[in-house]
Amino acid sequence: MDYSLILSNLTNPTLLFFILGVVAILIRSDLEIPAPSSRFISLYLLFSIGFKGGMELAHSGINAEVALTLGLAIVFALLVPLYTFFILRKKLDVYNAGAVAATYGSVSAVTFVTACSFLADKNISFGGHMVAAMALMESPAIIIGVILIRKFSNGKSGTHSTGHIIREAFSNGSVLMILGSLIIGIVADEKQAEGIKPFTSDIFKGFLAVFMLDMGMTATKRIQAFKQGGLFLTLFGILIPVFNACLAILLAHSFGIADGNAFLLAILASSASYIAVPAALRLAVPQADPGYYIPMALAITFPFNIVVGIPLYYGLLAIL
């Protein structure tokens, strides 16, 4: 196991700013991010992630394996929040179950980058379209989460048609931002897109660091909610990613997808978002408690995948 790779990711500035946010609340500092600024940063992150993902998707050539892999990625993004929502409803209310389900249906870019480095270290090739797969998995889970919440919240599941709920989900500001940015990234002229690169790429990590600082403070303020979930939420944050990864490996192997791409598909299926989904949920579902979905994704699933998941999924793939 490459411990230097693990250390490099655990000392990532964005994660360290998250820890700073935790410390700020624990020592009762008056540090805070103004609400309008927090909202702007959330929208900016969704815009940047969607736009860059769309450009990557436009660059990737399409063949049978690429189409199949992208299709499987979208299936996982749609399927995971559906089945996890009903598992989570055993312990959580509709809003929090939908938020956590969306979190686990989406992906962690940092986990994906770590897995790419793992493959590079072992000289295993993988397709550039896997970046597009990551981008495609960001928004479907958010949409499904919002639809489930709209469908089952407040006992009003029968007051609106499914079509009305879907339209409401797609017109939600955060969903519209990431989907619209993705489409614009696909159709935008590459040379013209270079003109806004300083905004879409160069300052991204700086805004992300501030966002993670805010998330650290928010999660710590609400951590009591996570404690109430107890062992159930902790086991969920470990076992569901393992199940998703195993399913992705089996499907990819049965369809003859190359090992490097199959491994990255498993990583995407097993990861949980702590950037795009929290940014969207803070706008789309303010009733959901960040004390559930942020600690689960960032404090349980992320370190588990980095330390245990990556070598475990690689070992499972090697057995087949």
Q: Write the pLDDT tens digit of every residue in 76-95.
A: 999 999 999 999 999 899 99
Mean pLDDT of 235-245: 96
Question: Does the domain formed by 36-319 have CATH 1.10.569.10?
Answer: no
Q: Which residue has the higher pLDDT, 222 or 137?
A: 137
102 pLDDT exceeds 70? yes
- The pLDDT tens digits for 140-165 are 888 899 889 988 886 554 445 556 65
The predicted-structure confidence for 33-81, as pLDDT tens digits, reads as follows 898 898 888 888 878 877 887 787 777 667 788 889 999 999 999 999 9
User: In the structure, what pLDDT confidence band is assigned to residue 181 with cuts at 50, 70 and 90?
Assistant: confident
Whole-model pTM?
0.74
Delimit the domains of the chain by residue range.
Answer: 36-319
Q: How many residues does the structure list for the chain?
A: 320
As a whole number of angstroms, the distance between CA 110 and CA 116 comes to: 10
Better pLDDT: 215 or 226? 215
pLDDT at 160: 52
User: Rounded to an integer, what distance in angstroms lies between the CA atom of residue 318 and that of residue 320?
Assistant: 6
Residue 60 is classified by DSSP as S
Q: Mark out the alpha helices in 34-127 (DSSP H runs).
A: 35-59, 64-88, 94-105, 109-121
Question: What mean pLDDT value characterizes the chain?
Answer: 83
pLDDT at 309 over 60: yes
Could you give the CA distance from residue 28 to residue 18 in angstroms, rounded to a whole number? 16
- Calpha distance 128→119 (Å, rounded): 13
The predicted structure's pLDDT at residue 109: 77
Predicted confidence (pLDDT) at residue 247 exceeds the cutoff of 90: yes
What residue type is 190 in one-letter code? E
One-letter identity of residue 269: A
Q: Is the pLDDT of residue 197 over 60?
A: yes
Mean pLDDT value across residues 17-21: 86
Dist. CA 196–CA 185, nearest whole Å: 11
Q: What is the pLDDT of residue 158?
A: 46
Contacts of 160 (CB under 8 A, 6+ apart): 150, 168
The tokens 């990737």 sit on which residue? 60
Mean local confidence (pLDDT), 98-112: 89
What gap in Å lies between CA 52 and CA 94, rounded to an integer?
Answer: 32
The conformation of residue 178, written as its DSSP 8-state character, comes to H
